[in-house]
Each structure stands twice: as C-alpha cells, then as structure tokens.
Amino acid sequence: MPELPEVETVKETLKVRLLGKTIKEVFSPYPKIIKMDFQEFKSKITNQTFRDINRYGKYLFFVLDDYTLVSHLRMEGKYYMRESLDQLTKHDHVVFKLGDNTFLSYHDVRKFGTMELVERGMEFTLLSVKKLGVEANQKNIDADAIFEKFQKAKRPIKSVLLDQSILTGLGNIYVDETLFRSKIHPEVLASNLNKDDVIEILNNAKIVLDKAIQLGGTTIRTYQSSFGVDGRFQNELNVHTMVGKPCPICNTKIEKIKVGGRGTYFCPNCQKRKTL
C-alpha cells in the first residue's frame, strides 16, 4: 500500500512528465472511481492544463487551470504514462488523453482508489481531506496538541498512529519502524504514554519518513510504483517483515503480532511494555 513517501515519489515523478500538458479527452471503463457524475467530470476537466501537483498525507492534488483533481491511491493505485491506447490494460480505469497524444492512465487492480474534482484552491473543503491530521513529517508539530489527542485515545499506539485524523501519512510499514526507533511496544495504550514518549515518536516519525522519501519509498509485497521507480527504503527496515530475524540492536528475534487487525512487527526486548 502506498504511504506518504511512495505518494511523494509518485508526485515528483509525475511532475516531470505531466506539467504543462492539456487534457483533450477522458474516458473511464470504471467511472465509480470518480466521486461525481462522469459526464460532469468529463465536461469540467476537458481542456484543462496540469499546472502543478501537490500532496497532503497520502492524497495527490493535480492542480489544473480552474480545478484540482484530488486522488487517493488506496491499496494499489498507480499512474502510468502510455504512449498509445494499445498499452492500456484491463486495470486502467481512468484514462486522460493529453495534447501531445500521450495518455495518463490510472491503474488500480482492486479499484479502491478515488478521484474528486473541486474548484482550484478548495481541496481542504473536501470532507475526506478536511478530516486529516497534521502530516507526520511536518516541521515543528505541536507536541502538546498530539499528546492531548493521545491522552483521549484508549487504543494501542499502533492503531492510533494509523489513524489519519490524528497524524496523516503514516501507514503500517512506517509505524512499525517509528515505534521500534522509539522503543515503544505497539500494544501500549496511547493514553498511557507520557509527553517525552510523544516527542520521541514525533521525532522518529519524521526521521523515518524523510529517509524513506530520500530513498524513493518502499517497494514491498504487492505495491510497486509506476514509471520504473522502485523505492529502496526496504533495505533500511529494522523490524517490518523481519519476523524471526535478529534485532539490529540486541539480536533478539523479531516477532509478529496482530494489532487492530494489522500485521505488526517489533522487538520484544527493545520494545518492552511499559509498567505503570
């Protein structure tokens, strides 16, 4: 599943290939991905030019002349630049024909991704975007505000860090790595953490995400970004997917458990449960 670093990599790669190009036509074999009437979508977006691409959390904002196309890749969404219609596959569900006769296609095996179109500058009026918390790698996050939210959360810290309304951009991989660096057990209740714990988590989340962005994200399991761009952060993983392997700090075997239904990797020695 693409997380913040993977979406950042997609954004930067697309900017090189897409900016300045105009949408001449759009068609969709599976228009349910688009969260509005397809004919209205088609009417509004035709003849619009890509002016910029931004990102917030795991959302992509394609900035056009008059509108912004807000895209969420969900589990396996990818964008491809196609040279011809012959290159399209059965999983290319939204296709934009561009002015240079190339095609931008949205490819999604599971069809979980979404697209929404809003007036330019109105991205944060969308409920799906408005409810997001601050980005987990943002500079100078208000630790007091996050600590207050943690205090109200009677859930395991792993689940709370995956809650995009508290911090956005952290997914399963990077939460595991952040908690390992913070020496915090994933099942500890967020409400039991003290202010220093929260500061440690925020600092390590930024370190992990920034490093992953630098390395182009993580290519792992079913997710691989398009354009031939493979992330290299999987070479930096300390615990995620490392079950049975020695901890890089203490040599204890990494264990895997389920927390909130999510596969979770941790070192039982370095990440001991807190005792109150």
CATH number for the domain spanning 120: value is 3.20.190.10
Average pLDDT score over residue span 235-251: 92
Q: CB under 8 Å to 114, separation ≥6 — which residues?
A: 33, 34, 35, 71, 72, 74, 128
Among this protein's residues, is 31 annotated catalytic? Answer: no
pLDDT confidence tier of residue 75, bands split at 50, 70 and 90: confident
pLDDT tens digits for range 95-118:
999 999 999 999 999 999 999 999
Q: Are residues 207 and 100 in the same domain?
A: no
pLDDT band at 231 (very low <50, low <70, confident <90, very high): very low
Domain-ending residue, one of 130, 160, 190: 130
- 3 as an active site residue: the answer is yes
Q: Which residue range forms the structural domain that includes residue 51? A: 4-130
Would you state the pLDDT for residue 216? 63
Instruction: Using the structure block, give the residue that is written with the tokens 């006769």.
Output: 101
- Domain total for the chain? 2
Residue 1 banded pLDDT, cuts 50, 70, 90: low
Looking at residue 2, its pLDDT comes to 74
Both 229 and 121 in one domain: the answer is no
Residue from 55, 58, 78, 155 carrying the catalytic annotation = 58
Let me know the angle formed at the C-alpha of 193 by 188 and 199, rounded to the nearest 5 degrees.
120
Residue 273 falls inside a structural domain: no
Name the percent of the chain lying above pLDDT 90.
Answer: 76
Residue 149 is among the residues annotated as catalytic for this protein: no
Q: What tokens does 11 get? A: 């954004």
pLDDT grade, residue 13 (50/70/90)? confident
The one catalytic residue in 2, 5, 156, 186 is 2
Average pLDDT, the chain: 91
* CB-based burial label for 255 (10 Å; 0-12, 13-18, 19+): middle
> Do 170 and 259 lie in a common domain?
yes
89 and 146 belong to one structural domain: no
Is 97 an annotated catalytic residue?
no
pLDDT at 220: 43
Mean pLDDT of 198-223: 79
- Same structural domain, 38 and 126: yes
> The CATH number of the domain where 143 resides is what?
1.10.8.50
Is the pLDDT at 160 greater than 50? The verdict is: yes
* Same-domain pairing of 146 and 34: no
- ∠ CA 249-198-167, rounded to 5°: 105
pLDDT tens per residue across span 109-155: 999 999 999 999 999 999 999 999 999 999 889 999 999 999 999 99
pLDDT tops 50 at residue 34: yes
Q: Specify whether 177 is located in the same domain as 209.
A: yes
Residue 4: the pLDDT is 85
State the catalytic residue, choosing from 24, 44, 74, 262.
262
The structure's pTM equals 0.88
Q: What is the pLDDT of residue 223?
A: 38
